[in-house]
Amino acid sequence: MTTQKTEKKQDDKIRCDACPVMCYIADGKSGACDRYANNTGNLIRLDPLVIVEQTKDRGGKLVPFLNKETEWDGNLVEPHREFVTAVGAGTTYPDYKPAPFIVSSKVDGVDMVTVVTEGIFSYCGVKLKIDTDRHLGHEQNTVRCNGEAVGHVTTGEYGSQMLSLGGVNHLTGSTKKEGRVTCQTLLDLCNGKAVELTIDDGATVVVEAGKPPIINGKVEERMRVGCGSATIGMFAKQWYQHVDEVVVVDDHITGVLSEHQAGKLLDVKSTGIVIKGRRSTPGRYFQVAEPGTGWGGTNIDDPLKILGDFKPNIAWPGLKLLMVSTTGEHAAYYELDEALKPVQKKPPPALQASIERISENCEPAYCSVVFIGGAGGSLRAGATENPVRLTQSIKNSLTYVSSGGAPVYVWPGGGITYMVDVTDTPENAFGHVPTPALVAPIEFTMRLSDYEALGGHMEAVVSLEEVQEISHRRQVSQQGTSPWPTAQHHYAWVEEEG
């Protein structure tokens, strides 16, 4: 696809103005980004323009051969159910030009337009949600890739560890090497590749979107069913007739059945157990051990380390004790001897079944990779000569934002800061420029009349049919159960006007 860009020759080279690097490219060669090349004096975009198509039945069922009006033509794609994404579209740099594609279409009789552009994002990053109870690193500790700082550990969430990578300070505010490594790390993660990260004074983890994490060389299988206290509540009825005491070991809240309200309501007898930790409320303990990769996200490999001596005036010989982690991965059964010391034994079948039930109720461990970027004034200028009106249109729900056709979350407040799950975007939807910065797809869909009202570049509007004639394009199916970008917003208009 030949691009309409200003070209300046230098010794049989042409100059690309798709980004601030402004490469001089020799014939048959590509620029530093590998996105643009010189083809016999013409600047061409190497990546194909990606068009998403929607099947007639999102459930995957067969389309009937006949309907009430017409025979089935054998096509699984709805007419006019194609959406031009920004993947492979190009950018607006040097920022005064209209977006590469401003596409008009008609949806259920409504004239619509989609502004399609790839944004050059220096202000961008990745939020990682890694499903594991294992301690990866303390909050604020530096996350590294190939020895370079690329982010930090942030607040843990329920059953998951969270990392924040990238950002303008890592991309452009430090050394050139740190910026290059950060950019490559973000690019690989956003395009679904596996990346190995190390955390200062913490773990080594391999992260890949949609796959389980590999922590210190071990594949994580499941996330926890709940904290120790919640696990007690969920499974108390399955335990209280088969065992005298249960301790669910958890780095955050360790649960004790006999003291927990669930145990009290089931008339579980006091056992005289002593937990080495900070008591919160009955049956709930904090800080029983240091964080780590052992039992329940602690640093222990022997659960008895969190127990003190049983109280002799309450405990009794033969007392049955189950200790288990929040994933069921670790479990041990004990009976007290005459000296009230726990002696490990094989768990009876009923208890073994309850341990397996914990594991059954744990969801598979999963790495979530969410791109976050701030769409600045230059990108908005590709949509309108009055950029703030695009922001206002989004905040007023007149404009629907997508990324590669995938739904996004737009943050409240000023500007257009959005997040997208990279597994919802087409394959290889993200690129980079060596400034360094990421190149990410973004589309703005609205009614044609609204686009004209906000001062849009009406002279640059082309029809969907014209875009479909471009030879260098790639058709892909819509990802997962994402809403259809144009119809999704059109339904909101119908409700508003109805």
- pLDDT, average across residues 154-160: 92
pTM of the predicted structure, to 2 decimals: 0.86
Q: Which pLDDT belongs to residue 63?
A: 40
pLDDT exceeds 60 at position 56:
no
Percent of the chain with pLDDT over 70: 90
| Closest CA relative to residue 369, chosen from 111, 144, 186, 138 | 186
Give the pair of three-digit tokens for residue 248: 């669910």
Question: Where residue 21 falls among pLDDT bands split at 50, 70, 90?
Answer: confident
pLDDT exceeds 70 at position 5:
no
**15: Cβ contacts below 8 Å, ≥ 6 apart:** 6, 7, 8, 9, 22, 23, 24, 25
C-alpha–C-alpha distance, residues 215 and 197, integer Å: 10
Percent of the chain with pLDDT over 90: 69
Contact assessment for residue 98 and residue 382, using Cβ atoms and an 8 Å cutoff? yes
CB-based burial label for 201 (10 Å; 0-12, 13-18, 19+): exposed
pLDDT exceeds 70 at position 228:
yes
pLDDT exceeds 80 at position 494:
no
Q: Strand, coil or helix: what is 174?
A: coil
SS (H, E, C) 11-69: CCEEECCCCCCCCEEEECCECCCCCEEEECCEEEECCCEEEEEEECCCCCCCCCCECCC
- pLDDT, average across residues 6-23: 75
Residue 93 CA: distances (Å) to CA of 18, 254, 459: 5, 55, 18
Average pLDDT in the chain? 88
- pLDDT, average across residues 411-435: 94
Question: Where residue 307 falls among pLDDT bands split at 50, 70, 90?
Answer: very high
Contact assessment for residue 404 and residue 441, using Cβ atoms and an 8 Å cutoff? yes
Residue 21 CA: distances (Å) to CA of 31, 127, 376, 431: 9, 27, 19, 15
Q: How many residues does the chain have?
A: 498
Question: Where residue 4 falls among pLDDT bands split at 50, 70, 90?
Answer: very low
Q: Which pLDDT belongs to residue 488?
A: 53
pLDDT exceeds 80 at position 66:
no
Contact assessment for residue 132 and residue 223, using Cβ atoms and an 8 Å cutoff? yes
Q: Which pLDDT belongs to residue 6?
A: 44
pLDDT exceeds 90 at position 2:
no
The 10s digit of each residue's pLDDT in 68-120 is 444 544 443 344 578 999 999 988 887 778 999 999 988 878 889 999 999 99
Question: Where residue 320 falls among pLDDT bands split at 50, 70, 90?
Answer: very high
Q: Which pLDDT belongs to residue 238?
A: 92
Give the pair of three-digit tokens for residue 247: 């301790």
Between 401 and 492, the higher pLDDT residue: 401
Q: Which pLDDT belongs to residue 33?
A: 84
C-alpha–C-alpha distance, residues 27 and 11, integer Å: 10
Crossing angle of helices 228-239/349-360, nearest 10°? Answer: 140
- pLDDT, average across residues 351-378: 92
C-alpha–C-alpha distance, residues 403 and 116, integer Å: 10
pLDDT exceeds 50 at position 411:
yes
